[in-house]
Amino acid sequence: MASRFAVRTRTSLAQAHGLLANFPQNAPQIQRSFSEEKTKATPSTATLLKVDWLLQKITPLVLKSNVRDFIDICQDDVRLEDRVFSYNLTGRTALMSHIAKVRMYYRYLSPFNKVEWIGSCVYEDEDVIVVMWRLSTLESSFMTYFPSFVTKKKTNMIVKEGALDVQINEQGHVLKIVNRAITASDREGAKSLAKIKEEQAEARIREEEKEMRKEFDRQYHS
């Protein structure tokens, strides 16, 4: 399918969801290219951020725990296009089987594997959430299972990074996943969204403290 290009500012996203009323008006524009044509009806900003939150929680669990919450929001004919490991599949059952095989592979490959969520970005009027991940694998050999003070060798960590373009429909169901290399615009977009989330969290804390002070004054000084 034809590629599409979207240029979005962080300001418009923030205003749409009420997250960043104070975000700088001169926020940099970020150009993104996605591999899939846009769906007929794009999901709301609230839906994008809800799925983004789920992906942030699920990503570190891929190799070690249940990711059923993610599988449940995938369409039956969900597609995976993996450009990092050169693998394509179609269907929710095939995706579940693929995840199980990947877990088994890395379990036998190394005694230590860790997947990290390292950032994400969403764009107003788009149907794609970009999730950046990092996979750290301890280089394995027979000597790996002996303490370093015995072998006198430094353990090496193999690190890979990538980005997932997760396309969702209006209801928040996953239609397609593209695993690819991270770009500079991914990192810039993730940095901006992280700042948005941090500022919003701080604002919520201040509001909660304000309400607690009011309640305290009402009980003890009224």
CATH number at residue 216: 3.10.450.50
- pLDDT bin (cut points 50, 70, 90) of residue 144 is low
Quick one: 196 exposed, middle or buried, by C-beta within 10 A (0-12, 13-18, 19+)? Answer: buried
Cα distances from 144 to residues 52, 147, 154, in angstroms, run 37, 8, 9
Nearest alpha-carbon partner for 154 in 138, 136, 170, 176: 138
Closest to 119 in 3D by CA, of 7, 202, 196: 196
Per the structure, the count of domains in the chain is 1
Q: Please give the mean pLDDT across all residues of the chain.
A: 80
**Would you state the pLDDT for residue 139?**
82
In the prediction, which pLDDT does 39 show?
Answer: 59
Where residue 1 falls among pLDDT bands split at 50, 70, 90?
Answer: very low
**C-alpha closest to that of 67 among 55, 79, 78, 77:** 55
- The answer to whether residues 187 and 119 touch, using CB atoms and an 8 Å cutoff, is yes
With bands split at pLDDT 50, 70 and 90, how would you rate the model's confidence at 147?
low
Task: Give the integer Cα–Cα distance in Å for 103 and 185.
Answer: 30
Helices (H), 36-174: 45-58, 68-72, 92-109, 148-151
Contact in structure between 105 and 85 (CB atoms under 8 Å): no
Q: Is 51 or 110 the better-scoring residue by pLDDT?
A: 51
Buried b (16+ CB within 10 A) or exposed e, 12-37: ebbeebebbeebeeebeebebebbbe
Domain region containing 25: 4-220
